[in-house]
Structure 1
């Protein structure tokens, strides 16, 4: 099955087979993941359950036992403060806002990471409290700056007006906010 010349594992399409899940393996995997990425408890649970599922398919390990190990690990991390969904949600919301995400997009992205609606709303409110003025307008301006839309476009703004409005709309901004950004005379006029 193994081809010693190529170094590939021929039986698994060039991939190593998944590791057999144990409590120690799950803990090491969780710590390694948390060293590289900020995560919500639900997202970490999803990542670890993927490992449990792959182990069950490859080695016949017990999915329910693996799920109990994952749940115990996540609960322990929540109690110790290693995982904090509120802090994660606020930091992620602030980061997404700086990149130009609309409040709707922020809520959706937080939901995909397992943050519930109330925590997402609180995170958006925390970001909104730190901003002087309209949060969506500030985010739309950041998005337009990054994508060079509206007043950040170097030439022929009028020919690209509809396209710029559509890009802001697809990003989750309302028409009035998009229009204010695209029709601004210059970047300073947005605020």
Structure 2
């Protein structure tokens, strides 16, 4: 009775899902090119995407799909570049105030090899990134109201560590009693 009330017994528009046809070599290549053109990606992320599409739609080719060769070809043409992806992602994450450990984990999850990840930032750059994070999240000396509450200090400490900052840097920033004292850490070396 309920189905009849919705549309006089007929399925509503959009209720029927159209099943896309299985992929062949040309369609798989088109999907790979579209994905690489739309997103900055790594070789591993492209392989995961193509694997997911093959699982969803199936394969209609005579030979098994060679997604590795397709990903290699796109990398050879420069459409997929792990080192460029790593540099872009590192800059973006550092701008958000995330530490080197968090950046390294994200790049590893994206499938970027260790030699493509670039150099670790120096101590001053790591400190500047941590200060930017503390300022943005209003932690330690950047908090609206200074607090000696151990629970709030522990919460701030945990937030800095989750963001990927080193323990020594986190302790130094949270030990600062004023913004000026925290910013003086950048000058000391």
Structure 1 length as normaliser, TM-score?
0.77
Aligned mates of 2:25, 2:132 — CA distance in 1: 44
1:65 aligns with 2:61: no
Matches within 5 A, 1:1-191: 4-9=11-16, 16-56=18-58, 61=60, 65-66=64-65, 68=66, 70-120=67-117, 123-125=118-120, 128=121, 133-159=123-149, 160-184=152-176, 185-186=178-179, 188-191=183-186
Q: Which has the higher helix share?
A: 1
Q: Which has the larger radius of gyration?
A: 2
Q: Contact 2:75–2:81 (CA<8 Å) still a contact in 1? A: yes
CA displacement, residues 52-74 of structure 1 (integer Å, 9 cap, x when unaligned)? 12223xxx657x712x1x22221
Aligned mates of 1:102, 1:173 — CA distance in 2: 4
Q: Contact 2:99–2:165 (CA<8 Å) still a contact in 1? A: yes
Q: Contact 2:135–2:142 (CA<8 Å) still a contact in 1? A: yes
Q: Contact 1:102–1:173 (CA<8 Å) still a contact in 2? A: yes
Distance change >3 Å, CA 103–CA 22, structure 1 → 2:
same
How many Å apart are 1:182 and its aligned residue? 1.7
**How well do the aligned residues superpose, as a CA RMSD in angstroms?**
2.4
Structure 2 unaligned regions, length at least 5 = 1-9
Aligned mates of 1:166, 1:65 — CA distance in 2: 48
Aligned residues: 172
Distance change >3 Å, CA 157–CA 49, structure 1 → 2:
same
